[in-house]
Structure 1
Amino acid sequence: MKTLMLAAVIAATLTTGISNAKADDYVIDIEGQHAFIQFKISHMGYSWLLGEFTDFEGSFSYDEANPSAAKVSVTIDTNSLDSNHAERDKHLRGEDFLDTASYPEATFVSTSYTPNEDGTAALTGDLTLHGVTKSITIDVSEVGAGNDPWGGFRRGFEGSTTLTLADFGIDYDLGPAARTVEMYLSIEGVRQ
């Protein structure tokens, strides 16, 4: 589950490109709740369990003239997991899954951004979840960019990735259909 949140946050932000000279820096808009890190995992092959991480922060850089230089960094409070069921959330935060007492944060730091001609991109970076750091790739697409009604400028991306829980040391057996978790990220950044 930890892998979900990190992947989601990273994917959305890395879709933007940056260059050191011309890159714009953005802060992910969590105050206005315009950013989401969500997950979806099979419940024993019978249904889907959906949830999100409600407390995270991050930033990204993007340069339209040099998108391949984009960078992103996200930190997630793993204890903010919310699946809309208090007892289940307690279990998911416990030692069988995220072990938030030992691993209170998950992080994603990008290492590369590879844009495609169709406006999509592959965002690769290091996800640290449950005390394990692995390279993951997030499929990203830009949603849009422009001026907002408050005198600022915003840029948004969405992304998705699939994480294998055992890769991050989470091996609680919920059956073969629940070995991976789908992460979805929707990120809106405010230019600084």
Structure 2
Amino acid sequence: MKKTLLASVLALSSLAMPVMAADYVIDTKGAHASINFKVKHLGYSWLTGRFNTFSGEFNYDEKQPEASKISVNIDTTSVDSNHAERDKHLRDSDFLDVKKFSTATFNSTKVTDLGNGKLAITGILSLQGIEKEITIDAEKIGEGKDPWGGYRAGFAGTTSIQMKDFGYKMDFGQIDFDLHIEGIKK
């Protein structure tokens, strides 16, 4: 009788406990995350590319998405537009100035739940030594167990920045980012 009562109390108390946000590491090793960009080239066409090297973490609780946080570090030397000479130019002082600023960062300051898996993630982007607040329009893609015994959550998002706001010497206007993040629960 005592064992049954104790088991019942433990079961009920676990139901009453608040759900805690889960911590995730962004899966860059398995290439299940990407930071892509596009910018108009001279106003005639789109130049597209990506950053091949980045890392980050986030926490997420489906019941309290507004308590979520994300932190990402981007190796700006890893810029890749699929053209070696252009990438060399993108790394120089006209654009990313990677000798001075080899890392860009994003740290969230606020997450707004817009309903139906949609989120507005506001935070500070540090690029070229300049910090600006940006907002990422994000959407939860899904979450669940993976075939290797882990647990994953995935999101997609978009945001834009103005090149002039980050001190680019050459300014082609707006850079649009397309973000895909899959995290593995720690």
User: How high is the TM-score relative to the length of structure 2?
Assistant: 0.89
The amino acid across from 2:82 in the alignment is N
Q: 2:179 maps to which residue?
A: 185
Q: 1:7 maps to which residue?
A: none
Q: Structure 2: where are the runs of 5+ without partners? A: 1-17
Distance in 1 between the 2:121 and 2:169 partners?
26
Distance in 1 between the 2:133 and 2:19 partners?
27
Q: 2:121 maps to which residue?
A: 123
1:58 maps to 2:56: yes
Contact 2:152 2:184 in 1 (8 A): yes
Alignment of 1:106-121 (within 5 A): 106-121=104-119
Alignment of 1:14-163 (within 5 A): 22-163=20-161
Distance in 2 between the 1:96 and 1:154 partners?
39
Q: Structure 1: where are the runs of 5+ without partners? A: 1-19
Distance in 2 between the 1:109 and 1:45 partners?
31
Contact 2:66 2:110 in 1 (8 A): yes
Distance in 2 between the 1:67 and 1:120 partners?
10
Larger radius of gyration: 2
Give the C-alpha shift of residue 89 in structure 1.
Answer: 0.2
Q: 2:8 maps to which residue?
A: none
Contact 2:93 2:169 in 1 (8 A): no
Give the C-alpha shift of residue 21 in structure 1.
Answer: 6.6
Give the C-alpha shift of residue 99 in structure 1.
Answer: 0.1
Q: Over the residues paired in the alignment, what is the CA RMSD in angstroms?
A: 1.1
Secondary structure of 1:116's match? strand
Give the C-alpha shift of residue 118 in structure 1.
Answer: 2.5
